């Protein structure tokens, strides 16, 4: 933090106060909930140990397929964008996103591993 710049806005603060203010600002920023679809997708990718390049690839391995379903499901429920918008984000057609939305609750009931992945991602986003 630039002390001179901060001093121009808060002339009465000492350098120690400015350091404390800097710490508080960083602390709060680290604990804010994600506000954009990209933030949510990044958190999900981190939790599932994949990256967006893999999500957007044509690869159909289960790890990536599950990640795509989870991203589509959570983003749709949290932000309610169009299916095409979500599809553009994960490089899939809107009909693939519709399928992900529709099938995810059924998969959660029948697949314990998938349900745990979804729960982990939801907990990380909160």
Tell me the per-residue pLDDT of 4-28, one tens digit each, with 9 for 90 and over.
555 555 566 666 666 666 555 554 4
Whole-angstrom distance, CA of residue 123 vs CA of residue 11: 42
Token pair 């000492």: residue: 14
Check if the beta carbon of residue 75 is closer than 8 Å to that of residue 36. Answer: no
pTM attached to this predicted model? 0.74
Tokens standing for 9? 């806005």
Which CATH entry fits the domain spanning 37-125: 2.60.40.10, 1.10.600.10, 3.30.70.260, 1.10.1750.10?
A: 1.10.1750.10
pLDDT band with cut points at 50, 70 and 90 for residue 50? very high
The better pLDDT of the pair 104, 126 is held by 104
pLDDT tens digits along 74-86: 999 999 999 999 9
For the record, the structure tokens of 42 come out as 């990044």
Are 43 and 121 contacting, i.e. CB atoms less than 8 angstroms apart? Answer: yes
CA distance 29 to 39: 13
Return the pLDDT at 41: 96
Distance CA 49, CA 112 (A): 18
Answer whether 112's CB lies under 8 Å from 61's CB.
no
């Amino acid at each position: 933090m630039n002390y001179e710049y901060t001093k121009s806005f808060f002339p009465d603060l000492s350098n120690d106060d400015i350091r404390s203010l800097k710490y508080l600002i960083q602390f709060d920023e680290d604990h804010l909930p994600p506000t954009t679809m990209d933030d949510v997708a990044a958190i999900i990718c981190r939790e599932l140990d994949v990256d967006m390049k893999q999500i957007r690839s044509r690869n159909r391995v289960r790890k990536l397929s599950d990640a795509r379903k989870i991203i589509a499901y959570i983003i749709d429920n949290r932000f309610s964008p169009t299916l095409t918008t979500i599809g553009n984000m994960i490089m899939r057609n809107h009909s693939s996103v519709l399928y992900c939305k529709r099938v995810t609750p059924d998969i959660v009931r029948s697949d314990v591993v998938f349900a745990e992945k979804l729960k982990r991602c939801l907990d990380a986003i909160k």
